[in-house]
Amino acid sequence: MKTATVYTETVVHAAPEQFVADAPYQLAILVGDDGSRATVRIAGERVAIGDRVEFAEERNGIPFYRKA
């Protein structure tokens, strides 16, 4: 999914061991234009429920999106 809308979001402060260096970071559940859903990381500016986002990149199998 290239573009989507933020369904819900949270900021992770107590990260799993492999992501401790990234904390705090934002996770979001997105709803794609086709109705699909995905849990992703947010890159850059923080997003809020209802914001439009676009695919930015994939790192180690993790999709990153940014505010559109």
Per-residue pLDDT for the chain (68 aa), expressed as one digit of tens each?
999 999 999 999 999 999 999 999 999 999 999 999 999 999 999 999 999 999 999 999 999 999 99
What per-residue confidence (pLDDT) applies to 58?
Answer: 97
Residues 49 and 60: their CA atoms lie apart, in Å, by 26
The count of residues in the chain is 68
Question: The tokens of 63 are what?
Answer: 């999709």
Distance CA 60, CA 4 (A): 21
